[in-house]
Amino acid sequence: MARVAIVTGGSRGIGRESAERLAADGFAVVVVYGGNEQEARSAVDAITARGGQAIAVRADVADETAVAAVFDAAEETFGGVDAVVHAAGVMVLSPVAELDLDALDRMHRTNIRGTFVVAQQAARRVRRGGAIITFSTSVLGLALPGYAAYAASKGAVEAITLILARELRGRDITVNAVAPGPTATALFLDGKDEETIAKLAAQPPLERLGTPADIAEVVSFLAGPARWVNGQVLRANGGIV
């Protein structure tokens, strides 16, 4: 029986790359998307075209009823849940003095409440030997101006992740966060000029932006062989201090 992964934010960017990588690793995948059915369908088609198994389920990750329905769909279609990759997130950049508080509330709802809701279902329903993977950001350590609200929301993600790892003692379930550095996704590139992108790409000693495939490699490791890595934040950022 195939192992089963739920990937939120699975229709684009890091989430989609992670979904396709896990499918290549042999997981049956539930691609969870927020609004763009066409992109989700494209992700499923890409997986099934390579002989993998996948379905797409729409859900607001902050809605506990919708998220429970995602886990129901995984169990009904594939028999259970072994890995949960919570890649859905919202990022709005602004100095503290200028941030629209509606944007703060939106990030809080998706990034904090959404992570908590997904983690809650995962804690109840992931099978023994499973893995729960959340997403933080390397910006937490870099303290870049303009990122206060976003970084604050991801600080909450790290707290939830590390505490959940300890709460699941005796279940043989790992819980870790991936904290990407600058990664070439639509979310990251949106609104940035070439000079800004070039400056960010020059930061790591490897002197390039990360790619979604770089991050999916880490997700694959944590979802599969990394059984002794638990309660950690893995900063996948090319060596930015």
Cβ atoms of 37 and 12 closer than 8 Å: no
DSSP per position, 44-76: HHHHHHTT--EEEEE--TT-HHHHHHHHHHHHH
- Torsion angle, alpha carbons of 188, 192, 194, 195, to 10: -110
Among 27, 147, 150, 188, the one annotated catalytic: 150
Please tell me what DSSP assigns to residue 172: -
| Alpha helix ranges (H) inside 54-192 | 64-78, 101-107, 114-125, 139-142, 148-167, 186-189
Contact 126, 120 (CB under 8 A): no
**Residue whose C-alpha is closest to residue 84's, from 137, 163, 9:** 9
Q: Please write down the long-range contacts of 40-46, taking CB distance under 8 Å and 24 or more positions apart.
A: 40/10, 40/11, 42/11, 43/10, 43/11, 43/12, 43/16, 43/19, 46/20
The CA distance from 210 to 200, in Å, is: 10
3-state helix, strand, coil in the chain (%, to 5): 50, 15, 40
- The residues near 215 (Cβ < 8 Å, ≥ 6 apart) are 14, 17, 18, 178, 180, 183, 236
Active site (annotated) includes residue 147: no
Which residues are marked as active site? 150
